[in-house]
Amino acid sequence: MSQALIVIDIQNDFCPNGALAVPNGDHIVDQVNALMRQYNLCVLTQDWHPKGHSSFASSHSNKDTYDIIDMSYGPQILWPDHCVQNSEGASFHPRLDTTKAHLILRKGTNPDIDSYSAFFENDRKTPTGLNGYLQSLDIQSVAIVGLATDFCVNYSAVDAAHLGYNVTVFTQLCRAIDLDGSLDTALKNMTCAGVSLE
């Protein structure tokens, strides 16, 4: 059975001192590098927002970071400006071994829609193309690691399970933002969707 490893958003802005720092986000890098050597197919995702992205609190008047607003596609948490295209914060962590990547998928590029999942934007229907890519290579199983457990890893894993992949998330190789219990909710969502948490 063909397997792929999907490495989610190991970027400077999600690591200590980054704009949307995930506690200990950088602690997983060396083990993720080692894990990539065990897979024949590795996909890296990169959160890649244009300046003024609609998911940034700074793009809305009278809104604070972590407020939730109603977008046409549903509720959206407002984030600090992060992973702005071509910025240092959007670059991969300097120790991440990007030479192992077969595909680097940039997401969140549409100014009007956020994209947590590697498969669909937050409207839950605009595809990123990753499903077609994996299908064309006859991949049936995916393992997922990276940042953050409760947002981009969670959404990617749940979508992958719904698309019919066998999905494993290596939780030790993920780190969470954990806003208002979001980590617990994410772990439950993933389990409900049939994702194996290891």
Give the catalytic positions in this structure. Answer: 9, 107, 152
Burial category of 70 from C-beta neighbours within 10 Å (exposed 0-12, middle 13-18, buried 19 and up): exposed
**Shortest distance, CB of residue 55 to Zn ion, whole angstroms?**
6
147 part of the interface to ligand VGL, by CB under 6 A: yes
The nearer residue to ligand VGL, 47 or 97, going by C-beta atoms, is: 47
47 part of the interface to ligand VGL, by CB under 6 A: yes
Interface positions, 68-107, toward ligand VGL (CB under 6 A): 79
Contact 117, 156 (CB under 8 A): yes
The nearer residue to Zn ion, 155 or 165, going by C-beta atoms, is: 155
Q: Work out the number of other CB atoms within 10 angstroms of the CB of residue 96.
A: 24
Q: Which residues on adjacent β-strands are paired with residue 145?
A: 7
Peptide bond between residue 148 and the one before it cis (omega within 30 degrees of 0): yes
Encoded one letter per residue, x for contact with Zn ion by CB under 5 A and - for no contact, window 79-118 reads -----------------------------x----------
Where b means 16+ CB within 10 Å and e means fewer, 106-126 reads: bbbbbeebbbbbbbbbbeeee
The nearer residue to ligand VGL, 70 or 138, going by C-beta atoms, is: 70
Selected binder of ligand VGL within 152, 157, 160, 186 (CB under 6 A): 152
Interface positions, 47-66, toward Zn ion (CB under 5 A): 47
**Shortest distance, CB of residue 18 to ligand VGL, whole angstroms?**
11
Alpha-carbon dihedral sign for residues 13, 17, 22, 25: positive
Binding site for ligand VGL (CB under 6 A): 9, 14, 47, 79, 116, 147-148, 151-152
